[in-house]
Amino acid sequence: MARFKSTKPESLVSGANLITLLRLLFSLLFFCLAAIYRRELYNYLGLGLHWLGDWLDGFWAKTFNQRTILGAELDIIADRVESLFFFINFIFFHPGLALPVALYMINFAFIDFYLSYQFIKFNIISVDFFYLVDQKVFKLNFSQPGKFANSTVIPLLLILLPDWWPLTLLLTAGLIAVKVDSIFILRKKKSQTAQIKS
């Protein structure tokens, strides 16, 4: 199973990458319909496609050994684009939740995006192999519980328990603290690696 970077050319046309592109296309279609027709149901359908497609492209890549750097990059970008579209609509339908949504999107779309993209600086093919770089960073951010806490818990709380928004603020602040700490850990790791090589 591929874990490390390869010099082999990577094709956009693989089952996993096509699933990523299709879930991006169809989820954005529903998000646009939600914005045009002012129907929140379409927004939730788009979110459902986002979550289903995100699971399916990862499952496909692992099952059929199609994990590539290009696929990992597409997945990271698609996750953020889809989440941004969903939450822009969500704020329109629930303007009272603008503050917790804004803080969560700062975390997910920017801080976590930067952290996730750090895999490209190490000799691994995707964030799934960050355990080869640092166990703490992997467990807190890229293990299955870490991914669930990062990308699913806050949206579910905002959707199902909107009156609990102060809790989502606290949890998001905690996530940001974890991400910032992880970024500094990886910077230190990279610096140590560079010193050893030199």
Domain boundaries of the chain, sorted by first residue: 13-93, 96-198
pLDDT of 54 strictly over 90: yes
Nearest to 57, CA basis, from 46, 77, 71: 71
Phi then psi for 43, rounded to 5 degrees? Answer: -65, -40
Instruction: Report the predicted TM-score, pTM, of the whole model to 2 decimal places.
Output: 0.89
Mean pLDDT for 166-172 is 97
Q: Per-residue pLDDT tens for 69-110?
A: 999 999 999 999 999 999 999 999 999 999 999 999 999 999
pLDDT of 7 strictly over 50: no
Report the b/e string of 162-186 with b at 16+ CB within 10 A.
eeebeebeebbeebbebbeebbebb
DSSP letter, residue 12: S
Angle value at C-alpha 87, between 83 and 91, nearest 5 degrees: 175
